[in-house]
Amino acid sequence: MMLEIRDVKKGFDSLQVLDGISFDVNKSDVVAILGPSGSGKTTLFRCLNFLEKADSGTMVFDGRTFDLNKATKADIAELRKKTAFVFQNYNLFLNKTVLDNVTLGLTAGAGMKKHDAVAIAKQMLEKVGMADKLSSYPSQLSGGQQQRVAIARALASKPEIIFFDEPTSALDPELIGEVLNVMRQLAEEGMTMLVVTHEMSFARNVSSKVIFIEDGHIVEAGPSKEFFANPKEERTKAFLRSIEYES
């Protein structure tokens, strides 16, 4: 087991956003996390990356246990070295070129030599089809291009797992495909990925596991084929029906 999440809880004021979330991730799993808006998916991700402090819960990663409420700065730094995060709004560094966006974490973060960092960055940008835009600034790119650069930036640190927080939700419909294609390619290469998404085709065809969250708990979880073919819970069936109508 690569990642074990246990009993994550998080509340804001009177609202219990996460009410005891537990699940496991194996190496090369692609886990799609589904659920209606406001169900706590993004908060869960933010807690797992320590962008928010959970009220309680643990995460076992590579055999090491991290307390999501009490992790030290050193723990968090260590964990972040092995994980990467792709944001809904890309969050590329606006004052950096495409190339510098990818190298910054390697040079200023990991202390790598500029020359080596550039080589890795170019390779990753090649992979996402952005090698011809090295010296562009984020504001000169489309949303889809920005998100692909963000994926290259995530890949550059050679993470063991990548968290994607609604990576296509901010994109115009015609730009979604180019990002999903990159993600599909990563999945095929065996990258372990956790993906909060509303893209059912991705969840159905690319992910290996699906977790359906509502009101802060897991309603249903299972292999994605089974989840879509034979949902067990009434609530899941209703959710799947409602999105059938959309697509």
Q: Which of 81, 122, 198, 217 binds other proteins (CB under 8 A)?
A: 81
133, 194, 197: which is closest to 170 by C-alpha? 197
Task: Check if the beta carbon of residue 194 is closer than 8 Å to that of residue 4.
Answer: no
Number of residues that bind other proteins (CB under 8 A): 28
* Least distance between other proteins and beta carbon 88 (Å): 9
Site for other proteins in 56-75 (CB under 8 A): none
Task: Give the x/- contact pattern for other proteins in 12-51, rule: CB under 8 A.
Answer: -------------------------------------x-x
With the C-alpha atoms ordered 98, 100, 104, 107, is the resulting torsion angle positive or negative? positive
Please report whether residue 228 would count as binding other proteins according to CB under 8 A: no
Among 140, 181, 201, 230, binds other proteins (CB under 8 A): 140
Q: What is the DSSP string of 191-227?
A: -EEEEE---HHHHHHT-SEEEEEETTEEEEEEEHHHH
Half-sphere exposure of 175 (CA within 13 A, CB side): 14
What distance, in Å, lies between the first and last C-alpha atoms of the chain?
Answer: 35
When asked if residue 139 is in the footprint of other proteins (CB under 8 A), the reply is yes
When the beta carbons of 7 and 160 are compared against other proteins, the nearer one is 160
Q: Is 84 in the site for other proteins (CB under 8 A)?
A: yes
Q: Could you tell me the smallest distance in angstroms from the CB atom of residue 138 to other proteins?
A: 7
Looking only at residues 146 through 205 of this chain, which bind other proteins when binding is defined by CB under 8 A? 153, 157, 170
Q: How far is the CB of 173 from other proteins (least distance, A)?
A: 18
Under the criterion CB under 8 A, does residue 85 sit at the interface with other proteins?
A: yes
With CA atoms as reference, report the closest residue to 142 among 175, 93, 184.
175
Q: Does 238 bind other proteins (CB under 8 A)?
A: no
Nearest to 23 by CA among 54, 38, 45, 46: 45
Instruction: Work out which of 11, 20, 109, 129 binds other proteins, going by CB under 8 A.
Output: 109
Binding status of residue 135 toward other proteins by CB under 8 A: no
Which of these segments, 93-101, 187-195, 222-230, 237-245, binds other proteins (CB under 8 A)? 93-101
Q: Is 243 in the site for other proteins (CB under 8 A)?
A: no
CA neighbor of 227 nearest in space, from 45, 44, 32: 32
What is the separation of C-alpha 99 from the centre of its chain, rounded to a whole number of angstroms? 22
Can you give 94-137 as a three-state secondary structure string? CCCCHHHHHHHHHHHHCCCCHHHHHHHHHHHHHHCCCHHHCCCC
Positions touching other proteins (CB under 8 A) are 49, 51, 77, 80-81, 84-85, 87, 89-96, 104-105, 108-110, 137-140, 153, 157, 170
